[in-house]
């Protein structure tokens, strides 16, 4: 059984989205956390190992949240990203596993030499990735 949200609030000062579900669960998720875990193809890729590590998102803000049917919402971020569809199940999962997902993200960021600070994006790598895609 999936839970449905009963309330969604944006806290612009603390940069967090608060979402309450009809099973009593309530989560506060920082905008940065939501941005780096966007369910979009741009972030997640089209398969395992194709994820794109998001860096420099510490100061990201949410401009608006748009409902998508009765099952999801689209979050419009101030860095122009708006292609992720956050289903209720996905948001519930993010909230439930926030601590471990955040830790994983920080470890990946450290391993890649990335930073959460804006303006710290690494230079795009030159050359191909071996799979025939163009860069």
Question: What is the tens place of the pLDDT at every residue in 92-103?
Answer: 999 999 999 999
Assess if residue 72 is contained within a domain.
yes
What's the CATH code of the domain at 22? 3.30.2020.30
pLDDT for the residue numbered 67 = 94
Q: Which domain holds residue 21?
A: 5-112
Assess if residue 124 is contained within a domain.
no
Given the structure tokens 């990735």, which residue do they identify? Answer: 129
Distance CA 132, CA 59 (A): 35
Say how many domains are in the chain.
Answer: 1
pLDDT band at 6 (very low <50, low <70, confident <90, very high): very high
Assess if residue 125 is contained within a domain.
no
Assess if residue 129 is contained within a domain.
no
pTM over 0.75, yes/no = yes
Helix 88-96 to helix 98-112 angle (10° resolution) is 80
Assess if residue 13 is contained within a domain.
yes
Residues 68-99: b if buried by 16+ CB within 10 A, e if exposed: eeeebbebebeeebeebebebebbbebbeebe
Assess if residue 96 is contained within a domain.
yes
> pLDDT tens across 103-115, in order?
999 999 999 999 9
Assess if residue 133 is contained within a domain.
no
> pLDDT tens across 20-68, in order?
999 999 999 999 999 999 998 888 887 777 788 999 999 999 999 999 9
> What is the 3 state secondary structure string of the chain?
CCCCEEEEEEECCCCEEEEEECCCCEEEEEHHHHHHCCCCHHHHCCCCCCCCCCCCCCCCCEEEEEEECCCEEEEEECCCCCCCEEEHHHHHHHHHCHHHHHHHHHHHHHHHCCCCCCCCCCCCCCCCCCCCCCC
Assess if residue 73 is contained within a domain.
yes
């Amino acid at each position: 059984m999936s839970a449905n949200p009963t309330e969604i609030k944006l806290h612009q000062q603390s940069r967090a989205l608060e979402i309450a579900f009809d099973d009593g669960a309530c989560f506060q998720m920082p905008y940065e956390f939501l941005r780096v875990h966007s369910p979009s193809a741009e972030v997640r890729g089209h398969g395992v190992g194709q994820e794109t590590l998001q860096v420099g998102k510490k100061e990201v803000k949410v401009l608006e949240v748009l409902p998508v049917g009765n099952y999801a919402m689209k979050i419009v971020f101030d860095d122009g990203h708006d292609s992720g569809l956050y289903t209720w199940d996905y948001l519930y999962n993010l909230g439930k596993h926030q601590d471990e997902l955040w830790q994983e993200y920080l470890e990946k960021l450290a391993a890649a030499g990335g930073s959460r600070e804006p303006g710290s994006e690494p230079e795009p790598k030159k050359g191909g990735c071996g799979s025939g895609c163009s860069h």
